[in-house]
Amino acid sequence: MNDIGLKITNNSKHIAKTPEADVTKTPKEKAKLAKAAQDFESMLTSMMLKSMTKTTGGMFGEESFGGDYFDTIFETEIASYISENKSLGLADMIYKKVIGEDLDMNKITKELQESRPSEIKIESRIKTENNSSPISPSEGSINRLTKFDDIIDKASKSFNIDKNLIRSVILTESAANPKAISSANAKGLMQLIDSTAADMNVKNVWNPEDNIFGGTKYLSKMLKQFDGDLEKSLAGYNAGPGNVQKYDGVPPFEETKNYINRVKGYMKYWENEL
């Protein structure tokens, strides 16, 4: 592909027709726009660098060993550095034109956090409480689980639940077998009993997407009910919230204790895999 030669004499000219400012954007939308504006500036800067070094055969010269490879790395890194340090100011101009205020990532991050207090609290509790030893899933269960990655990602975003927690519950409940059924008639990937499936509006418990969304919704309900306490929430998922309330904590059931340790062990495994 031919290099693109760029000649920019007036940076603001290229964004002069940006839509009028919209101050009704949510913190999440502001964060997405800020990231998009910075990515655009970084891309444009990279193209400018490529254009400027075109006559010399790149930063490392035409005859250098691996020059094309290192050119790409350095151009990307320098472009990203320039963008982050606001040397061109294009991201600022784009953001201000759309939102009507200066691009301040600290402010945007703070607004985003304040708009999602329950999610942050849950994630914080999960990370601080998970000090279990890792449990490695079998190769077969991992291979089955990866087939549902897209569904897990969507459920994670829909209910603000860590996707590694969803993965760990699925592995503990069914070893990622969508056709699993227990002696208590719990069904599918997240082992939903009929009453829970009905409460979570699950139309087809054997459908992986319906099952995962129903199970994640119920898990979210437990986390909210028990103020983000991971162990109590998992106990509620396994033994029912009534038993957690009855014993004012994790019930003294060996099955429930083993269940909690297994989920946390799988979560530790996923953390180490990142």
Q: Give me the CATH number covering residue 126.
A: 1.10.530.10
Longest distance between any two alpha carbons in the chain, whole Å: 76
The answer to whether residues 189 and 260 belong to one domain is yes
Report pLDDT for 92: 75
Could you give the CA distance from residue 81 to residue 220 in angstroms, rounded to a whole number?
Answer: 39
The answer to whether residues 72 and 122 belong to one domain is no
pLDDT band for position 135 (cuts 50, 70, 90): confident
Residue 59, pLDDT above cutoff 70: no
**Could you say which DSSP state residue 249 is in?**
S
Q: What are phi and psi of 117, to 5 degrees?
A: -60, -40
**Could you say which DSSP state residue 130 is in?**
-
Q: Would residue 216 count as lying in a domain? A: yes
Q: Would residue 200 count as lying in a domain? A: yes
Provide the number of structural domains found in the chain.
Answer: 2
Active site residue: 20, 173, 231, 273, which one?
Answer: 173
Could you give the CA distance from residue 177 to residue 267 in angstroms, rounded to a whole number?
Answer: 18
The answer to whether residues 91 and 145 belong to one domain is no
Q: Would residue 3 count as lying in a domain? A: no
Cβ neighbours for 65, distance < 8 A, ≥ 6 positions apart: none
What integer is the mean pLDDT of 54-75?
A: 49
Looking at per-residue confidence, does 204 or 105 come out higher? 204
Tens digit of pLDDT for each residue in 212-257?
A: 999 999 999 999 999 999 999 999 999 999 999 999 999 999 999 9
Q: Would residue 154 count as lying in a domain? A: yes
Domain membership of residue 244 as a residue range: 117-273
Report pLDDT for 57: 53
Q: Would residue 1 count as lying in a domain? A: no
Q: Would residue 4 count as lying in a domain? A: no
CA neighbor of 139 nearest in space, from 181, 189, 191, 176:
176
Q: What are phi and psi of 181, to 5 degrees?
A: -145, 135
**62 belongs to the catalytic site:** no
Q: How far apart are the first and last CA of the chain?
A: 35
What integer is the mean pLDDT of 163-183?
A: 94
Could you give the CA distance from residue 148 to residue 146 in angstroms, rounded to a whole number?
Answer: 5
Tens digit of pLDDT for each residue in 83-124?
A: 455 455 767 777 677 777 777 777 767 676 665 544 434 444
Report pLDDT for 274: 56
Whole-angstrom Cα Rg for the chain: 25
Q: Environment class of residue 112 by beta-carbon count within 10 Å: exposed (0-12), middle (13-18) or buried (19+)?
A: middle
Tokens representing residue 9 in the block: 């004499």
- pTM here is 0.55
SS3 content of the chain, % helix, strand, coil (to 5): 65, 0, 35
CB atoms within 10 A of CB 85: 8
The answer to whether residues 56 and 130 belong to one domain is no
The answer to whether residues 31 and 131 belong to one domain is no
Tens digit of pLDDT for each residue in 29-53?
A: 777 777 777 667 666 666 666 665 5
pLDDT band for position 67 (cuts 50, 70, 90): very low
DSSP result, 202-220: -S-TTSHHHHHHHHHHHHH
